[in-house]
Amino acid sequence: MNTESLGTIFLNAALVNNFVLAYFLGICPFLGVSGAVKTASKMGMAVMFVMVISSMCAFGIHTFLAAINAPYLQLISYIVVIASTVQLVEMFIKKMSPSLFRSLGIFLPLITTNCAILGVALFQTNKGYGFIESVVYALGAGAGFTLALLLIAGLREQLNFADVPQISKGTALTLFIAGILSLCFMGFAGLGAQ
């Protein structure tokens, strides 16, 4: 077990080791849905919700698998839990807000293959977090993901009006900005480490 405080875990997951900009997890939605701030924020919320639920389930599964001594089933059961949670969220959003459902489009079912979510489940197991710590970790990771998504979406909205060379338009430019953002987040290193 570790002795980190809950606040440190949260800050660590959200800022110091930001899932998108330091661990490169969840790059696909990061590049795909970051066109507008509005969609980005809702996508961030959906991802955060799935993260927290699947992190709770992953904790239960890990305890159970450790009890029956079958660690090789870990990956398969994690992915099944995540896929079903995403299905649940999808049905919920479809019922509650059809317009949001349409604007998220294909990226909603693709949350299943968002590596950030499986990443949270795997990292919390590797670090040996307890139940509360796992939930805080997932919340932090989700907040960090939403923050990165919002920042890049805001920048990209502005960039639509910028005059850049033709060849650098599109993915290449987004990646350059992501690189600079990633450098900025390096400034958080050491935060929360006492």
Partner 1 sequence: MSRETTSSVPKATTTDEFIKGLWRENPVFVQVLGMCPVLAVSNTAENALAMGLATAFVLLMSNILVSLLRDFIPKQVRIASYILIIATFVTVTDYAIQAISVELYKSLGAFISLIVVNCLILSRAEAFASKNTVWKSTLDALGMGAGFTFALFCLGAVREILGNGSIFEWALFPEGFQNWIVMILPAGGFFTLAGWLLIINVIQTRKVKS
Interface positions with partner 1 (CB under 8 A)? 21-28, 31, 72, 75-76, 79-80, 83, 109-110, 112-115, 118-119, 122-123, 126, 166-168, 171-173, 175-176, 178-180, 182-183, 186
Q: How far is the CB of 126 from partner 1 (least distance, A)?
A: 7
Q: How far is the CB of 151 from partner 1 (least distance, A)?
A: 14
When the beta carbons of 7 and 105 are compared against partner 1, the nearer one is: 105
Tokens of 96: 């509650």
Nearest-approach distance from CB 157 to partner 1, in angstroms: 19
- Is the CB of 26 or the CB of 44 nearer to partner 1? 26
Give the nearer residue to partner 1 in terms of CB position, either 21 or 61.
Answer: 21
Least separation, in Å, of the C-beta of 143 and partner 1? Answer: 19
Residue among 64 and 194 whose Cβ is closer to partner 1: 64
Query: What count of other Cβ atoms lies within 10 Å of the Cβ of residue 1?
Result: 8
Instruction: Give the DSSP per-residue string, the chain.
Output: -----HHHHHHIIIIIT-TTTTT--SHHHHHHSTT-HHHHHHHHHHHHHHHHHHHHHHHHHHHHHHHTT-GGGHHHHHHHHHHHHHHHHHHHHHHH-HHHHHHHGGGTGGGGG-HHHHHHHHHHHHHT--HHHHHHHHHHHHHHHHHHHHHHHHHHHHHTTS---GGGTTHHHHHHHHHHHHHHHGGGTTTT--
* Nearer residue to partner 1 within complex by CB, 45 or 80: 80
Q: Which is nearer to partner 1, 126 or 194 (CB)?
A: 126
> What distance separates the 2 farthest-apart alpha carbons in the chain?
60
- The two tokens of residue 151 are 């920042």
> CB of residue 102 vs partner 1: minimum separation in angstroms?
20
CB of 182 to partner 1, least distance (A): 4
